[in-house]
Structure 1
Amino acid sequence: MEQAAGSARDARSVPGCYRHPDRETGVRCTRCERPICPDCMVSASVGFQCPDCARGGTGETPPPQASRPRTLAGGTVTADPRLLTKLLIAVNLAVFVAIKARPSLGYDFVLYGALPSKPFAPTSGVAAGEWYRFVSSMFSHEEYWHLGFNMLSLWWVGGPLEAALGRARYLAVYFVSGLAGGALTYLLTAPDTASLGASGAIYGLFGATAVLMRRLNYDLRPVLALLVVNLIFTFNPSMHIAWQAHIGGLVAGVVTGYAMVHAPRENRSLVQYGTCAVVLILALALALVRTAQLT
């Protein structure tokens, strides 16, 4: 009977678990591709891993054909898919605490074109060469409600998007959207009007999330409803919100998000990061046009 069972196994060519050879299995570790039985399966972001890989070491060299699991956009699947989202929230909180402790930092971090404006020569602002304000303003908040709303949105939307895109691509969408929103704000607002907040970048994440959900054929109604509610607040005059940052970030997020999830596999990275570069170049062009007007 034992010999017959062995012959049947050979005929079916079903491997046994690498830790329990007597247990047949058709499942393999997504990292090292060794066969694993249900008792040895460790759930991962994509598929299952063996206990050795889940602990960070396989104990042996994986076969050459084994490849790391990838996200939909081609990013590497990581153990903590929300790490960058947590770090972005931490940076925003740290800057908020610093501004509350030293209010003059808020003046140094906010985005505005020139102060004072014409006919006086600009003494500070982007037009005076303080281009860092495009980045510093993305992490600055003055009101508790503003910080709280943005950080909740970043956690709800950013975490799943980071897991879907991978860290590098997620960070690219975030910063490109924030910078594009800042460039449109700089172009269209009065030079002495200050703006701040992570809203432009977060609206970019909203846009990229909508594109991703459409790509996966998910129901778009929840994210569209949330976006409509946010836009209502955006264009409410009593809220004093820089709608330019929101619209600029949203458009940039849709464009870069589309490139992330629809890029052809053959030239995926080139298309993805090339699209981000094109959006950044357009944002830079807007900023240069505005600077020429103010100097």
Structure 2
Amino acid sequence: MEQDQAPNGLSSCYRHPGVETGIRCTRCERPICPDCMVGASVGFQCPDCVRGGSGTGHAPGVSRPRNVAGGAIASGDQQLVTKVLIGINVAVFLAGLFVSGLVDRLVMIGLAFDPELARVVGVADGEWYRLLTAAFLHQEVWHIAFNMFGLWVLGGPLEAALGRVRYLALYLLSGLAGSALTYVIAAPNQGSLGASGAVFGLMGATFVLARRLRYDMRPVLGLIALNVLITVVFRDSIAWEAHLGGLVAGAVIAYGMVGGPRATRALFQWGACGLVLGVTLVMAVMRTAALT
């Protein structure tokens, strides 16, 4: 079978036309990119040969198919976590429309006096859960629609590439980092809400993975540039701190997921997650100390 040639003369992956590769399947000799390589006892095999090796979907002597982060490829819906996250966001949005005071109790706010409760509320008053709950909170239809569209477009491919557990860690930690940076920079009584921090984390991760897999960077860069432009133009009404915090956290975590040495991959991956979580907690603790 004649294969398409990439611009530099290398063959293109038979499953991803245009993606350059010098690796071929040891069984059928078709060119395969890093995203399609399945480790065998000798060399790499393509997903089709692995599936055709036995009735169980794994050829003799071939390890279980792995995603780009080194995790086992989950069976079933490859976008399950993304769909669940969208469902939670929509459910919380609808609940906020009908449950009085729900938004006020979950929004990210540093320290403020609530006249209805007649007491001080906020993260600095011990309500640390607001750093995370705010990432699932929306008040306007356009706000949740925009964020859920971004989650759907970016989340599905990332979930398939990283696996469910790693992808969920990326999403939650990015949202948490966005809230923490907002807490540090924004005024104490300025509320913040929305999944934008987590979605920007997915953007940062998409950029890292696109470079790792040598995909065309132009669509990713265009998406990031558009969102940065929107953030700058509407900075007075948008929590740009959450966008920045999520973007940086997502990029750091994604680099840890795919950039570490194979021998210590798991340690590198969870070390990156631990680093982001640790920095987030330190920022929150220092800000709380300053406010109290």
- TM-score w.r.t. the length of structure 2 is 0.79
Between 1:87-96 and 1:237-246, the stretch displaced more is 237-246
Question: What does 1:1-295 align with in structure 2 at a 5 Å threshold?
Answer: 48=51, 52-53=55-56, 65-78=61-74, 79-116=76-113, 123-237=120-234, 240-295=237-292
* Contact in 2 for aligned 1:46/1:69 (Cα 8 Å): no
The separation in 1 between residues aligned to 2:65 and 2:229, in whole angstroms, is 40
Match of 1:23 in 2: none
The separation in 1 between residues aligned to 2:56 and 2:247, in whole angstroms, is 39
Between 1:193-202 and 1:45-54, the stretch displaced more is 45-54
1:122: Cα distance to partner?
Answer: 7.2
Please list every run of 5 or more consecutive structure 2 residues that lacks an aligned counterpart in the other structure: 1-26, 29-36, 41-45
Count of aligned residue pairs for this structure pair = 248
Alpha-carbon spacing, 1:250–1:51, altered in 2? closer, same or farther (3 Å): same
**Residue by residue, what CA displacement relative to the aligned partner does 1:133-177 show, whole Å, maximum 9, x if unpaired?**
111101110000000010010000010011011111111111111
1:103: Cα distance to partner?
Answer: 3.6
SS in structure 2 opposite 1:201? Answer: helix
- Indicate the RMSD between aligned Cα atoms, in angstroms: 2.5
The separation in 2 between residues aligned to 1:87 and 1:141, in whole angstroms, is 16
Alpha-carbon spacing, 1:136–1:49, altered in 2? closer, same or farther (3 Å): farther
* Contact in 2 for aligned 1:205/1:253 (Cα 8 Å): yes
Alpha-carbon spacing, 1:203–1:49, altered in 2? closer, same or farther (3 Å): farther
* Contact in 1 for aligned 2:64/2:72 (Cα 8 Å): yes
Amino acid in structure 1 at the alignment position of 2:255? Y
SS in structure 2 opposite 1:257? Answer: helix
1:112: Cα distance to partner?
Answer: 0.4
Please list every run of 5 or more consecutive structure 1 residues that lacks an aligned counterpart in the other structure: 1-25, 34-42
- TM-score w.r.t. the length of structure 1 is 0.78
1:52: Cα distance to partner?
Answer: 4.4
**Residue by residue, what CA displacement relative to the aligned partner does 1:42-85 show, whole Å, maximum 9, x if unpaired?**
x979953578436xxx9xxx85x443211011122122211100
The separation in 2 between residues aligned to 1:154 and 1:104, in whole angstroms, is 27
SS in structure 2 opposite 1:283? Answer: helix
The separation in 2 between residues aligned to 1:237 and 1:219, in whole angstroms, is 29
